[in-house]
Amino acid sequence: MKTKKPHLLGVPLEYQLDQAGEQSPPTALEKELMRLILKGLGDPAIGVTLWDGEPLSPTQKGPTMVVRERAALWRLLTHPTLHFGDDYSTGRIEIEGGLLAFLGRAYDAFYSRPKSVVALQRIADAYRRVRGNPLDQARDNIHHHYDIGNDFYRLWLDEDMVYTCAYFAPGVETLEAAQEAKMEHVCRKLRLTRGETVVEAGCGWGSLARYMARHYGVKVRAFNISHEQIAYARDRAKAEGLDGLVEYVEDDYRNISRNISRNIGRDRYDVFVSVGMLEHVGVKHYRELGAIINNTLKPDGRGLIHTIGQNQPIGTNAWVYQRIFPGGYTPTLREMMDIFEPYDLSVLDVENLRLHYARTLEHWQQRFENQLDTVRAMYDESFVRAWRLYLVGSIVNFTGGYLQLFQVLFSRPRANTLPVTRDDIYRRDDDESV
């Protein structure tokens, strides 16, 4: 067990030091400001109780935000999405009546705001979106999230440590089965055959690479810049006797092509696959990613990118961007075309698995809550609350249709020997293709 880590998600120190003394009741101005904040957020159907314990509106009902400190109200005024997250994490804001219901109503109102309010928001969003992630920053960003510690993720992920959207195929109920079904779904879409070579960009704890090697007999080189994840993946591949087929490379995906030229004898790959990495790439690097794919694939090669996406190019929620996924951005399909179009790669199949991610997150949150005692022994309460907000907020986003999950299958333009229908992906028997 690790030592208890405070402030792990980067909540600024002043939040921790800002001890509430005796507070005078909210002024008429402060109540008016609170109403203004709600208006800016699209007037969600929620209640608000300020630090005097009185409801802001005498008729309010449903889930309620309790603002426990004066300073929290004033912070909400400057940047509500960011500071709501931080003040919820530190307990200066509490939610009564259910976090899921509260966030559901908040998001529904937020995305129905008048266009004038939205336009202002987009200017700020644009900055985050186009900034992208230079190499060094990318390492910091990934370290921030994925190196929290394998021990933590092990508490609430499935046994294969798959930290991406699962696939609830018909009859699949458990998280373990759904993660395996996802890996199988990806392999079937890619039409892997024994002896082929696969390069994986952003391999997490390495589960997909091992699954491909074990069930399809392919050779996989899997890239990841998270040190803790790579170490775990290597250990596990060795323990499972797969280290002859799977090679984990602790390096940035942008160095895949560099590695190719060093790698005499198997210069190019049959298959490129990336599950849950594009969210960290940044739109301005998509052409570069396309170039890497183009330089990596054989003339009849194919690939799949699995990513959180959205219908419209809206910047990542400020709190998620600052505290959970620095540098994160979830693209639209239009934005994703920057990867394929410049290199004449054919999009064969796009599938939107949005509601599978809502269900995956429900499993994760349930497991997380079941492990609270252990989590609390590792991290302080602000971490626990931040993580809960992140998981529940994500459920709300996928259920409400504010986030999508795209699997995009592509190939070289003249890959004419692939199956021409998707029937083989959906065959019901349990035959493996090897």
Binding site for its own copies (CB under 8 A): 167-170, 311-313, 332-334, 337, 340-341, 344-356, 399-402, 404, 412-414, 416, 420-423, 425-426, 428
265 exposure class (CB count in 10 Å sphere: 0-12, 13-18, 19+)? exposed
Quick one: 231 or 350, whose CB is closer to its own copies?
350
Among residues 101 and 350, whose Cβ is nearest to its own copies? 350
Task: Choose between 355 and 384: whose C-beta lies nearer to its own copies.
Answer: 355
CB nearer its own copies, residue 213 or residue 314? 314
The nearest distance, CB 212 to its own copies, in angstroms, is: 21
Minimum distance of its own copies from residue 339's CB (angstroms): 11
Minimum separation from the CB atom of position 219 to its own copies (A): 27
- Specify the DSSP class assigned to residue 5: B
Minimum distance between the CB of residue 424 and its own copies, rounded to whole angstroms?
9
Q: Which is nearer to its own copies, 254 or 356 (CB)?
A: 356
Both tokens of 32, joined, read 């008016």
Q: In the complex, what is the shortest distance from the CB of residue 283 to its own copies, in angstroms, rounded to a whole number?
A: 13
Nearer to its own copies, 18 or 184 (CB): 184
Least distance in Å: CB of 167 to its own copies?
A: 8
CB 405, min distance to its own copies, A? 11
Select from 191, 189, 185, 182 the least CA-distant residue to 162: 182
- Over its C-alpha atoms, the chain yields an Rg (Å, rounded) of 23
| CB-based contact 281:331 (threshold 8 Å) | no
- Closest approach, Cβ 116 to its own copies, in A, equals 17
Structure tokens at 133: 């992630």
Angle (nearest 5°) at CA 250 between 245 and 256: 75
Phi/psi for 267 (5° steps) reads -60, -40
DSSP sequence for 346-393: EEEEEEE-HHHHHHHHHHHHHHHHHTHHHHHHHB-HHHHHHHHHHHHH
Closest separation between CB of residue 254 and its own copies, Å? 23
Residues in CB range of 273: below 8 A, 6 or more apart: 186, 190, 198, 199, 200, 201, 208, 303, 304, 305
Cβ atoms within 10 A of the Cβ of 350, count? 14
Q: Closest CB to its own copies among 315 and 326?
A: 315
Q: Which is nearer to its own copies, 53 or 170 (CB)?
A: 170
Task: Tell me how far CA of residue 193 lies from CA of 157, 218, 416, in angstroms.
Answer: 29, 7, 16
Residue 217 vs 400, nearer CB to its own copies: 400
Calpha distance 369→375 (Å, rounded): 9
Quick one: tokens of 395?
């459920």
